[in-house]
Amino acid sequence: MILLWLAGGISHLDSWDVKPDAPREVRGPFSPIETNVPGIVVSEHLPLQAQMMDKFTIIRSVDSTASNHQPNQVMQTGNLRSAPRVNPNGSKYPAIASVIARHRGANQPGMPPYVAFHVDRTHIAWGGYLGQQYDPVQGATGPQPFTLPSTLTVGRVSRRRELLGSLDRFPSGLDLTGRMSGMDDFGEQAAEMVLENRARTAFDIEQEPTAVRDRYNRVPFVDQMGTRGDQAEQVLLARRLVEAGVSFVTVVLSTHRNSGTWDTHGDPVATGYGGIERGLKPLLTPFDHILTTLVQDLEERGLLDKVLVVAMGEFGRTPKINDRAGRDHWQPVSSLMLAGGGFRHGQVIGATDRLGGEIKERTVTPGDLAATIYDFMGVPLDATYLDPRGRPMHIVEQGAPIRELV
């Protein structure tokens, strides 16, 4: 799976759930456009998605009531209690990706199961109660991350691993937190990635043909302040990684730390966030390009039915434009987009009311999304894990696979 995380919360009313018949202060400055699926319209600034709507499913009725941001983990865990701002233990519920890492692992030996590209650790969910060994490997563009120094050979690394094993006599019974075993697992995983050519090759963006790199970079990810990020190449790397055997890759489409690039309250709130015209509009064009390029690339490589792509943020935005020409946080409803996975697409699931502020039909919960992903990835929906007190915790709470996708 590849998750494109829109940190800050994309405005559903200005992207996938436009309301052309609503009052201007609700419908906003953007116009709707028809898609290649009759009856489905999206924002005028998503023309490429409109041309490929038969490859996508829009869910317009996501209940994100419990979700918050920075850290923004409810939607990435499927657990309503995973909100660190209001729950002291909120950060301990494992990411969907971490659960997959535990139950499925990587699809190929020598590859990490969970990789994340981000500019701020509060934008993603972690291993939590499962342990540090199920945290993501931190992805990066630029110099190859798994190249050995010239003075260190594969043989020397292998001998060092043997020596470390003979010296490590830490009594496992004293490791009450599991951190030592987690570090041991991390060490083994790191050594495998360094020694196995598969990981080094997958992370080496230089091995991708120039034409493909140029295709992804044709519309670079540039935010409203003109800051250029590496997100286009990170998404290309995500495709390379799932192709090579990584099970789950998260790419955060944000150049900002803190609450994220998509937190479009309006210009006076914080420099660099902007409102709908000055903040959101510059983001939609590169996002439109990145998402559709990824889906086309996966399809051309025969991978689209095998890889699930999800694009979403932590909540929606207020139905009414505020006095700063932006929209504030709106937790009652949000929209998301899916592609691939062998699911039935070219459809819209759910609906909001005429102002886009409340769910009108077919509520989809974070648990429903988690159950859908687990079912797709072959993780038993009745699986559990233990909290520090030894109590079993269900990986799916208040959720079931989204039936309309099948």
Model confidence, pTM? 0.89
Burial 357-385 (b: 16+ CB within 10 A, else e): bebeeeebbbbbbbbbbbbbbebeeeeeb
Look at 165 and 86; give whichever has higher pLDDT.
86
Cα–Cα nearest to 65, from 53, 74, 56: 74
Give Cβ neighbours of residue 111 (< 8 Å, ≥ 6 apart).
193, 196, 198, 199, 202, 241, 244, 245, 246
Task: Say what the pLDDT of residue 274 is.
Answer: 87
- Alpha-carbon distance of 359 to 333, in angstroms, equals 6
Q: Residue 216, Cα to own-chain centre: how many angstroms?
A: 18
Mean pLDDT rounded to a whole number for the chain: 90
Say if residue 118's pLDDT is above 90. yes
Using DSSP, state whether 47 is helix, strand or coil. Answer: helix
The residues near 362 (Cβ < 8 Å, ≥ 6 apart) are 61, 349, 350, 351, 404
Secondary structure (3-state) at 247? coil
Q: In this structure, what token pair is assigned to residue 357? A: 């502020």
395 by DSSP, 3-state: which? coil
Q: Among 94-108, 223-237, 343-357, 360-374, which is the least confidently predicted range?
A: 223-237
All structural domains of the chain = 2-146+228-405 (3.40.720.10)
pLDDT in tens, 240-286: 999 999 999 999 999 988 889 999 999 766 556 789 999 999 999 99
Residue 84 preceded by cis peptide, ω within 30: no
396 pLDDT higher than 90: yes
Structure tokens at 41: 């319209």
For 35-93, what is each residue's pLDDT tens digit?
Answer: 999 999 999 999 999 999 999 999 999 999 999 988 879 999 999 999 888 899 999 99
Give the pLDDT band (50/70/90) at residue 336.
very high
% of the chain with per-residue pLDDT over 90: 76
For residues 308 and 327, what is the distance between their CA atoms, to the nearest angstrom? 30
Q: Distance between CA atoms of 291 and 293, rounded to whole angstroms?
A: 6
Other CB atoms within a 10 A radius of the CB of residue 301 amount to 12
Q: Is the pLDDT score of 111 beyond 80?
A: yes
Closest to 99 measured CA to CA, from 305, 308, 402, 396: 396
Lowest mean pLDDT, pick from 11-25, 158-172, 358-372? 158-172
Provide the percentage of residues in the chain whose pLDDT is more than 70.
Answer: 85
Instruction: State the alpha helices, DSSP H only, in 168-280.
Output: 179-195, 197-203, 210-217, 231-244
